[in-house]
Amino acid sequence: MAGKATSTPTTYSPSPTSHKTKVPIFSDDRVRPDGRGFNQCRPAFFRTGAVNAASGSAYAEFGNTKVIVSVFGPRESKKAMKYSDIGRLNCNVSFSTFANLVHREGSDHKEYTTILHKALEGAIMLETFPKTTVDVFALVLESGGSAKLPIICFSISISDNFVMHVVGDLSVVISCASLALADAGIMMYDLVASVSLSCLNKNLVIDPILGEENCEDGGLMITCLPSRYEVTQLTVTGEWSTPMLNEGMQLCLDACAELAKIMRSCLVDAAPGSEE
């Protein structure tokens, strides 16, 4: 059953912060290249039921980033797999040939896949489908973010300064995959929302575009369960102080909460009888 899309893309933004910093790479009125303020996220557009042959699917569009995710299953696990009392989650992330100039058609990215798997598995009730497997296939149709490697994923352990690496488009992929799982009827503790942020000359810029990521001093991406206020994935790049990182994480968590409202609205609008 095809789902419904919101009539227009919906914006979501965290609460503005009160700190004052110089903005040498932006205009004097703190306007970014695409016209947004530092604390403004790109308009988010979601649609469920994008792939009729899948158990569940979703399409997401955040500015120039366009992603489609298909979910198949739960279906019986292969005989070669060992018996398990809980279900299995398989993920795959690939880029279309026209996504950008870096990725080749159908190219798989193990690092992206690993992050997607870790971000989703903590939200899925795997015990509700034992001996079966759920497959999640994400395809980036158009890339509006960077693709920096290597990637390091880690549990939250903060020192005064440290260096890590992150990628850009994954936040949209993760949020879209969560919506596709919900469309497939997979039991989850909560929807999974993900938001990225860049640090440019000590200024925190939420939901950066490609040009901003290319100039960033550091970046981070948070994936969380907004209703439970639990972080399922944190990736960081560049050099951060603890206070700046804490502020950036809070901005991302606030934005995730707003993004989750848009995702839930999409599911409600797609539900049978929603027009009545």
Closest CA relative to residue 71, chosen from 59, 81, 84, 83? 59
Terminal alpha carbon distance of the chain = 17
**Closest residue by Cα to residue 230 from 246, 251, 253:** 253
CATH of domain 44-77+85-270: 3.30.230.70
**What is the pTM assigned to this prediction?**
0.80
Amino acid at 240: W
Q: Write down the pLDDT at residue 164.
A: 35
Query: What pLDDT is stored for residue 271 in this prediction?
Result: 80
Contacts of 148 (CB under 8 A, 6+ apart): 165, 166, 167, 168, 213, 237
User: In whole angstroms, what is the distance from residue 226 CA to residue 244 CA?
Assistant: 22
DSSP states along 40-61: -PPPEEEEE---TTSSEEEEEE
Closest CA to 8 of 56, 61, 58, 48: 61
pLDDT tens digits in sequence order for the chain, 276 residues long: 555 565 667 776 676 654 444 344 555 556 787 778 888 889 999 999 999 999 999 999 998 889 999 999 898 877 656 667 888 999 999 888 776 645 444 444 788 899 999 999 999 999 988 888 999 999 999 887 544 433 344 433 333 333 333 456 889 999 999 999 999 999 999 999 999 998 888 889 898 887 788 788 888 999 999 999 899 988 888 888 889 999 999 999 999 999 999 999 999 998 876 555
Strand order in the sheet with 203-206: 163-164, 230-239, 218-225, 193-200, 203-206
Q: Which pLDDT score, from 0 to 100, does residue 179 have?
A: 96
Domain boundaries, the chain: 44-77+85-270
Cβ(263)–Cβ(23) under 8 Å?
no
- The DSSP annotation for 210-271 comes to HHHHHH-SEEEEEEEETTTTEEEEEEEEEE--HHHHHHHHHHHHHHHHHHHHHHHHHHHHHS
Please tell me the predicted confidence (pLDDT) of residue 27: 54
Position 2 scores a pLDDT of: 57
CA dihedral sign of residues 36, 142, 172, 153: negative
73-108 tens-digit pLDDT: 898 877 656 667 888 999 999 888 776 645 444 444
